[in-house]
Chains A and B, each alone.
Chain A
Amino acid sequence: MKEIRWHGRGGQGAKTVSQVLAQINLREGKYVQAFPEFGPERSGAPIRAYNRISDEEILVHSAVYSPDLAVIVDESLLTSEKPTDGLHPDGTLVVNTSCSTEEIRTRTGFKGKIVVLDADRIGREAGTGFANIPMLGAVAAVLGTAWSIVEEEVRRTMGERISKEMLDKNITALRAAYDAAKKGVAGG
């Protein structure tokens, strides 16, 4: 079973993409859980969201304490939220940043795999302004999910909420981040 912890701020859509990630993995025939940090949400305040992904039925209902993946949607949380706490030593830290892998390693002291991508820039260039969808693309790449499934599920789930034009922009951002992370996984 893989456990994932998302670090974002209220309003950035970390919870939303954790739910889309669950849908993507359901399509892959997996058992999944997606849940926000339990409590009231405030715009701009640090929030956490979680995923569990497994080949077998997931029975556990407790919180996630030692994730395999920590995903930093908002770089400012890298220091304030201690995102490497409990992160499995062989796990992966995925960070939205313009810094290099080495810089993030120095800042966090994390010895496992680090994947960096400038999701803010990717979102900006694609015209969405959001980092959450690029970070979803990065996580899907790290998990080794086939692109076709990622695209299809994002189109299906997000298509109900946003216009066709905005959806296409999001898919562009998703693809750019997916490719960037894939390179990062291979390189780092």
Chain B
Amino acid sequence: MEMPIPDPAVLSNRERVLSRLARILPSEALITDEAERRAYECDALTAYRCLPLAVALPSSTDEVSDILRICHEEGVPVVPRGSGTSLAGGALPTEDSVILGVARLRDVLEVSYPDRYIRVQTGMTNLAVTGEVESDGFFYAPDPSSQLACAIAGNIAMNSGGAHCLKYGVTTNNLLGVTMVLMDGTVVELGGAHLDAAGYDLLGVICGSEGQLGVVTEATLRILPKPEGARPVLMGFDSNEVAGECVSDIIKAGVLPVAIEFMDRPCIRACEDFAKAGYPDCEALLIVEVEGSDAEIEEQLGLIKQIVRRHNPVELRESQSDDESKKIWLGRKSAFGAMGQINDYMCLDGTIPVSSLPFVLRRIGEMSKEFGLDVANVFHAGDGNMHPLILFDANKPGDLERCEAFGAEILKLCVDVGGCLTGEHGVGIEKRDLMTVQYAPADLEAQMRLKDVFDPKWLLNPAKVFPLQVSASRRAA
């Protein structure tokens, strides 16, 4: 992965920058020691690593502002970091950068049930937000798989999704306001407890901007009353096509499940071997979950079962208890772990129109043979967000490169059928060089204008999202 050449002026200026930072931060909030910096050399995309200049861990918006102002004045790139769970390399440092981590910003600032929001500092984890309001019958809807560890700051930067976004939307649909610090240290408030912007929807622009427009330190999040109950139903089919048609028919029938998860045969097998969830031996498996009171669930599942039976399922199993529900989800939730047991894997997250599902799965199967690497598919079928897991052996020379080439072909296929490169993980460095597949030069130019406005010197997380040659003149300016 090509990264820009570190700025020699910054590298030679390291001591001065560190001493300026040391004056405004308590000693425990500034990491300069090499062994300790090592912990920040990568995120969850561990194939790429780089040691940053230093790591700053501020505990207030004012400290964030001071750090950014100093780095701005000194021309030092800053890489914001939530919990470092990015699968796209969104928090990968460069050698000449300061990592700005929000891990110490963890306070709950306000909870309002009448207005249905919570205001938090953004180092708080996604699951902890729900934890804060759960006992009062509320929850925070976006639920990325990494929710136990991932920070709200990272969720906002990547516009994170999750399994339940068919009904509840992704981060941008549940974000009401932010306190954000611009690269020059200016603190700006966008949105709040009210809905909709007075002028341009800058909040919508910030969400998903991969930490390139500002550092979000506080967020007002929409919380929702918890449904009375939820119940999954599991169904197996003897072809991907039939499973795909079934998804489409369920949606057309007017049922809106909270989740529709899809697994193909390789994935079913691996999960079954790993988790013993009792999944049937079949080509395609769907888990559909609906919510409501018992009677409401019965009504919705009744309708769903009618539709499913028309598609001759090889298995149709409705959960009869909490234990059974857990078991149905167990296999799905352990999919990544199961794969990790067998092999190294690369997880993609391109989105496709749901109608292209059978075609895309068939093509991936063919490409799998061409590249000589196995693929397992698990994905959010209701919204078309795929998660092909390409299996490879990191110790085998050339395997990673082959895997990356295969991954790129799958993502190009997603774009070809009318989809996109990434549905919830973000571009980061991982998909940076594929952006020209999805976007024409004018499209990328328009996006880069936003960065020009928010961060004219291109110092915030600068080597991500846009292909290096496309952003070169701006980064050099």
Interaction A to B: no
Listed in ascending order, the chain A residues whose CB lies under 8 Å from chain B are: none
